[in-house]
Copies of this chain bind each other. A is one copy, B any other.
């Protein structure tokens, strides 16, 4: 069952080349906000949705119902579009190579996207190219974990090479017992790394167009709790030299892996300098602040980039911009109940994704632009808490 349902797209003839039609795998909040940018530019965006309740479908994005794991659905989605792009990376890498061999333009390419799909591949690829990454090993057996622990000491971090997000697929390993238990559940072994003493977690967004030009947004600081990003502070509270180094690093990675569209580089600032943690090759949670906070949003940039159009200015528009994610509080936590109170917070830009409200799920975000970090962050936190059904 391919899940390919009848839709307004199913009977449409393929658009001609230069049609300004983009296909996006996935219909979550990133696709929803990309749809919003497509409305502005008057370009076409069609999405592959699992359900008519997906956030981008509820926002009216033209869609095909189907599954990202099914190449027939990807093929139908991509048909006649100028570029196939992604709102998530949970697709089969080999399918993407097949689509490329059939002449579809993937943006990013299958080879580039693999850096977001496979953490082990990313580590190997980046370290081979001389980029700074945490020490790592690929362990399939306990002895391999123990050998790594001898060099670095416990605790370690174990990561599933593929399939994780928002803390899933990441395990702290306090000792051999933990390692044995986690390894037993992993067919493809674990990416093992030491516990890194992190001063700050940073994210740098680079946008690289099909034409090869790129722009870099100022590094931001991400604040995680329970492995889920809660807050984004723009710009990051780091020295200008370090910010410049982070941008140069991210831009160089975009070049080296031949990224197209938004590349989000998650960095650890440590006592030993910057280390690359993970890559995402799509609009990224750390860039939602760009909608109101920058001259061009990451979503518009992504569309421009994958269509090979000129990129926009990444300029930050205020001294400080803070985004706070709205996380679901539970079954009765429809964030729209808090809308009235949240909109009463001066300067709060509310974004709700139209998702069913489950505990811990990202249901929306709030961005506030301001002059000083303290009150700006307080305002964003207050509005997000009101939407999340929690005490501020």
Check A343 against B20 for contact (C-beta < 8 Å): no
Check B309 against A352 for contact (C-beta < 8 Å): no
A201 to B128, CA, bound (A): 64
Check A313 against B346 for contact (C-beta < 8 Å): yes
Min CB distance A225 to B, Å, is: 24
Which B residues touch A336, using CB under 8 A?
20, 42-43
Check A352 against B60 for contact (C-beta < 8 Å): no
Which B residues touch A119, using CB under 8 A?
none
Which of chain B's residues has its CB closest to A59's CB? B39
The reply to whether the CB of A347 lies closer than 8 angstroms to some CB of chain B is yes
Residue in B32, B304, B344, B350 whose CB lies within 8 Å of A41: B350
Residue in B39, B304, B313, B364 whose CB lies within 8 Å of A42: B364
Check A344 against B32 for contact (C-beta < 8 Å): no
Which B residues touch A350, using CB under 8 A?
40-42
A59 to B32, CA, bound (A): 12
| Copies of the polypeptide in the assembly | 2
Check B62 against A352 for contact (C-beta < 8 Å): no
Q: Write the A30-65 contact mask toward B (1 if CB under 8 angstroms, else 0).
A: 001001100111110000000000000001111000
Min CB distance A336 to B, Å, is: 6
Check A40 against B347 for contact (C-beta < 8 Å): no
Interface residue range, chain A: 35 or more
The reply to whether the CB of A354 lies closer than 8 angstroms to some CB of chain B is yes
Residue in B36, B61, B309, B317 whose CB lies within 8 Å of A343: B309
The reply to whether the CB of A339 lies closer than 8 angstroms to some CB of chain B is yes
Q: Which of A325-371 contact B (CB under 8 A)?
A: 335-336, 339-340, 343-344, 346-347, 349-354, 364, 369
Given contacts A39-B32, A42-B353, A350-B41, contact A340 B60 (CB under 8 A): no
The reply to whether the CB of A310 lies closer than 8 angstroms to some CB of chain B is yes
Which B residues touch A349, using CB under 8 A?
40
Which B residues touch A369, using CB under 8 A?
295
Check B40 against A39 for contact (C-beta < 8 Å): no
Check B312 against A343 for contact (C-beta < 8 Å): yes
Given contacts A60-B59, A60-B62, contact A313 B39 (CB under 8 A): no
Q: Which of A40, A347, A369 has the most CB of B within 10 A?
A: A40
Which B residues touch A41, using CB under 8 A?
339, 350-352
Which B residues touch A346, using CB under 8 A?
313
A326 to B303, CA, bound (A): 21
Which B residues touch A61, using CB under 8 A?
60
Which B residues touch A347, using CB under 8 A?
295, 313
A312 to B369, CA, bound (A): 13
Given contacts A36-B36, A313-B346, A351-B40, contact A339 B20 (CB under 8 A): yes
Which B residues touch A43, using CB under 8 A?
336, 339
A233 to B347, CA, bound (A): 24
Check B309 against A340 for contact (C-beta < 8 Å): yes
Which of chain B's residues has its CB closest to A363's CB? B42
Which B residues touch A343, using CB under 8 A?
304, 309-310, 312
A61 to B60, CA, bound (A): 6
A42 to B335, CA, bound (A): 9
User: Nearest 10 A-B pairs (CB), nearest first?
Assistant: A60-B60, A42-B352, A310-B344, A39-B59, A310-B343, A309-B343, A36-B39, A40-B351, A42-B354, A309-B340
The residues of A with any CB-CB pair to B shorter than 8 Å are: 20, 32, 35-36, 39-43, 59-62, 295, 304, 309-310, 312-313, 317, 335-336, 339-340, 343-344, 346-347, 349-354, 364, 369
13 residue pairs bridging A and B, Cβ less than 8 Å apart:
A20-B336, A32-B39, A36-B36, A36-B39, A36-B40, A39-B60, A41-B339, A41-B352, A60-B61, A295-B369, A304-B343, A313-B346, A317-B317
